[in-house]
Structure formats: C-alpha cells, structure tokens
Amino acid sequence: MIIKSHNINNIKVAEVISDEVIIQSVQDGLDLMGNIYYQGFDKVMIYEKDITPDFFDLKTKIAGEILQKFSNYRIGLAIIGDFSKYESKSMKDFIFESNKTGHINFVETLEDALENFLK
C-alpha cells in the first residue's frame, strides 16, 4: 500500500494506492482511518477495487459501520470507482444519500474526488 499526498487549499488529502484489497472488514477500515489520521491527513481517497465486494452488499453492514466512523471522526472520504454495476436500489440510494452530505463521496475519477474536497 502506498499513500500519495495531495494538498488542496491547505487540506492534506491521502490517496491510497494498492495492488490488493485493503479493506476486508470494519476493523480494516478503522485501521486505515487511524493510520491516515496519525499521518496528519484530513481526508482520504480509496479505490473501489481495493475494498471487499461485501462492502457493497448493504446486508453485511460493513459500509454503514465504516462510513459512520469516518463521519464521527470528521475524516472526509472519497471512494473512486464505477458504481453503475451495482443494480441494487438500496445501494444506489445509499450512494446518493452519501454524496448529498458531501462528507462521504462515491465518485468516478480522482479528479472528481479532489474537486469534491474543494466544496
């Protein structure tokens, strides 16, 4: 795992880059959040491919628990990927509602993620 630093208007943003799944459980999400926070980052971007597919099955509650922690600790999160493949209405609603808050964003590109952090 590599953490690439971006600086946007004096906000330190971590881009997590990996060749393997980083988040397979709620604990993995918490560990990542702690690691990012410890390194002084305010926000984090992670790619969908680096998250277990179970995250995108809302019945597992992994997504809700992880995203709640990011919200509670006020660490902005962008998940970058193609979410059109998720046909579940509940997942589409979850993504829509998350994007409305602006704190947790599901976006298609790195550029979209960086732009959302400017808002």
Residue 39 DSSP one-character state: T
**What are the per-10-residue average pLDDT scores of the chain (119 residues)?**
94 96 96 95 97 95 94 94 92 94 92 88
pLDDT at 102: 82
Q: How far apart are CA 34 and CA 30, in angstroms?
A: 6
Q: Which whole-number Å values give the CA distances from 65 to 12, 28, 34, 99, 111, in the listed order?
A: 24, 11, 15, 17, 26
Could you tell me the pTM of the whole model? 0.94
16-47 pLDDT per residue, tens: 999 999 999 999 999 999 999 999 999 999 99
